[in-house]
């Protein structure tokens, strides 16, 4: 009996201990937002957020324009951040990547090009009108950088004025563009209109210098790259009509000018050659340094007779501006010279091309001398390009329409090859 009672008491005691342990293991859960209080710590007040802050009475609220460009309040509300442009063609994307690689120097933050002056909106709309305008004014630039024609209207700022293309080196750069006006009282530029905001470094087309004077800056471009480096640029042209650079306080160039200035006045038929790397000819490149000069040859059908013929144009160097020149040609399967011309040449060298050579030639011999009804003298200026190899010479149509013997009125450009030896 005693044994049974002891066992019963032991079981009751074990059950009580088990219930006590379960109660200790169970912790009360606090509701969301409750704070634990400790007698050793003081509860700090919650700091207000920027949205909770209010400016003191009589003072304007803080202007928090992106990038810290200016502490002047804009008259206009900030524009929405522009969406990322997608849909560049493979060719356009490749040209954009090539340009970024070309201008990726340690201090360079963006590239810029001056594209010309546009007087107003395109009648056929931007998507159609802008590529057509660029094709007409600078086809070579469009062939070199086809992404220019594919920049959409959301990344075009303005509708008239001097047109610039801006390409950040960093694809993730932040770009902010504002119209500004000089304040004589404060001696600072004040933001008058917020034009563009982007969190990605996509190419943009910007109309600036709206009063027509390209040397008077009225627009501010602020770029911040992924490393926090910043630059502040005011698009304009200098007295020589070259793009004004963006420089740091230490004088480092932060911008890369990819404008092809010499291409603007080039003949349209030269566009594909210029974009392929052909450049302006020099006097030394045209005539060489030897006493016997340098010859350039071609072969074609003579328009008047329909017969095949061989032509040779040989330049002799006297100084860096020109010298003497001989031109002769013979029919195929003939040892007789049909025409022999001789005279002078001068050259205006434009390194980025084309250069311009002026020929003053007289007919001095050959089977046609004294019996031809054609001209006995010609004076004309021709545009020239030299191939990247230096062995091919491109001659364009004469400024006055006068043709060399191997050319015709339908000739817009003709290629000659450097003669061996």
pLDDT tens sequence across 188-219: 889 999 999 999 899 999 999 988 888 889 99
Q: How confident is the model at residue 371 (pLDDT cuts 50, 70, 90)?
A: confident
217 within 8 A of 208, measured Cβ to Cβ: yes
Beta bridge partners of 232: 222
Flag whether pLDDT at 123 surpasses 90. Answer: no
Q: Considering only CA atoms, which of 80, 70, 78 is closest in space to residue 180?
A: 70
pLDDT of residue 213: 87
For tokens 């001209």, what's the residue? Answer: 375
Flag whether pLDDT at 33 surpasses 50. Answer: no
pLDDT of residue 71: 35
Instruction: Indicate the DSSP class of residue 228.
Output: S
Give the chain's largest Cα–Cα span.
158
SS3 215: coil
Both structure tokens of 311: 């032509």
Predicted structure pTM score: 0.67
Both structure tokens of 253: 């160039």
Flag whether pLDDT at 14 surpasses 70. Answer: no
75 within 8 A of 129, measured Cβ to Cβ: no
Instruction: Indicate the DSSP class of residue 289.
Output: S
pLDDT of residue 54: 33
For tokens 């004589």, what's the residue? Answer: 184
Per-residue pLDDT tens over the stretch 265-315: 788 889 899 989 999 999 999 999 999 999 999 999 998 889 999 999 999
378 within 8 A of 361, measured Cβ to Cβ: yes
Which segment of 35-49, 168-182, 293-307, 364-378 scores lowest on mean pLDDT? Answer: 35-49
Calpha distance 206→100 (Å, rounded):
19
pLDDT of residue 26: 37
For tokens 């002078």, what's the residue? Answer: 344
Per-residue pLDDT tens over the stretch 51-81: 333 333 333 333 333 333 333 333 344 456 6
SS3 140: helix
Mean pLDDT, range 42-54, rounded to an integer: 31
Q: Is 379 left (phi over 0), alpha (psi -120 to 50) or beta?
A: beta
pLDDT of residue 15: 53
Q: Which long-range contacts (CB under 8 A, 24 or more apart) does 290-298 make?
A: 291/316, 292/316, 293/317, 293/323, 294/418, 294/419, 295/418, 295/419, 296/393, 296/416, 296/417, 296/418, 296/419, 297/416, 297/417, 297/419, 298/406, 298/414, 298/415, 298/416, 298/417
Neighbours of 223 (CB within 10 A): 26
71 within 8 A of 77, measured Cβ to Cβ: no
pLDDT of residue 397: 94
CB-facing half-sphere around the CA of 125: CA atoms within 13 A = 4
Q: Considering only CA atoms, which of 342, 322, 366, 383 is closest in space to residue 140?
A: 383
Residues 6 or more apart whose CB falls under 8 angstroms from that of 290 comprise none
Q: How confident is the model at residue 330 (pLDDT cuts 50, 70, 90)?
A: very high
pLDDT of residue 67: 35
pLDDT of residue 86: 61
Give percent of the chain with pLDDT exceeding 90.
56
pLDDT of residue 130: 79
Mean pLDDT of the chain: 81
């Amino acid at each position: 009996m005693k044994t049974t009672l002891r066992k019963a008491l032991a079981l009751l005691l074990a059950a009580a201990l088990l219930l006590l342990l379960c109660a200790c293991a169970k912790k009360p859960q606090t509701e969301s937002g409750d704070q634990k209080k400790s007698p050793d710590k003081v509860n700090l007040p919650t700091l207000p957020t920027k949205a909770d802050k209010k400016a003191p009475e009589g003072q304007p609220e803080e202007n928090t324009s992106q990038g810290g460009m200016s502490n002047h309040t804009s008259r206009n509300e900030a524009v929405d951040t522009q969406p990322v442009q997608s849909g560049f063609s493979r060719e356009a994307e490749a040209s954009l990547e090539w340009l970024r690689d070309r201008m990726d120097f340690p201090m360079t933050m963006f590239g810029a090009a001056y594209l010309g002056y546009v007087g107003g909106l395109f009648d056929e709309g931007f998507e159609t009108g802008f590529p057509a305008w660029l094709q007409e004014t600078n086809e070579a630039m469009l062939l070199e950088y086809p992404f220019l024609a594919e920049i959409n209207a959301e990344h075009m700022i303005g509708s008239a004025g001097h047109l610039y293309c801006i390409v950040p080196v960093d694809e993730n750069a932040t770009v902010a563009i504002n119209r500004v006006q000089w304040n004589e009282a404060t001696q600072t530029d004040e933001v008058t209109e917020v034009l563009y905001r982007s969190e990605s470094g996509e190419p943009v087309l910007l109309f600036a210098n709206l009063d027509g004077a390209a040397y008077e800056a009225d627009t501010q471009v602020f770029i911040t790259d992924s490393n926090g480096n910043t630059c502040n640029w005011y698009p304009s042209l200098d007295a020589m009509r070259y793009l004004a650079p963006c420089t740091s306080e230490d004088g480092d160039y932060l911008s890369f000018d990819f404008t092809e200035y010499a291409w603007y006045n080039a003949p349209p038929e030269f566009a594909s050659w210029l974009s392929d790397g052909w450049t302006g000819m020099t006097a030394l490149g045209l005539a060489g340094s030897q006493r016997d000069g340098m010859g350039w040859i071609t072969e074609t059908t003579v328009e008047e007779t329909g017969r095949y013929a061989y032509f040779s144009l040989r330049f002799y160097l006297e100084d860096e501006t020109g010298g003497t020149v001989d031109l002769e040609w013979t029919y195929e399967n003939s040892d007789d010279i049909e025409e022999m011309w001789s005279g002078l040449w001068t050259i205006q060298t434009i390194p980025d091309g084309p250069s311009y050579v002026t020929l003053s030639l007289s007919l001095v011999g050959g089977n046609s001398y004294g019996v031809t009804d054609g001209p006995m003298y010609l004076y004309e200026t021709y545009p020239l390009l030299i191939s990247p190899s230096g062995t091919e010479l491109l001659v364009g149509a004469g400024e006055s329409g006068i043709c060399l013997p191997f050319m015709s009125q339908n000739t817009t450009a003709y290629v000659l090859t450097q003669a061996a030896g």
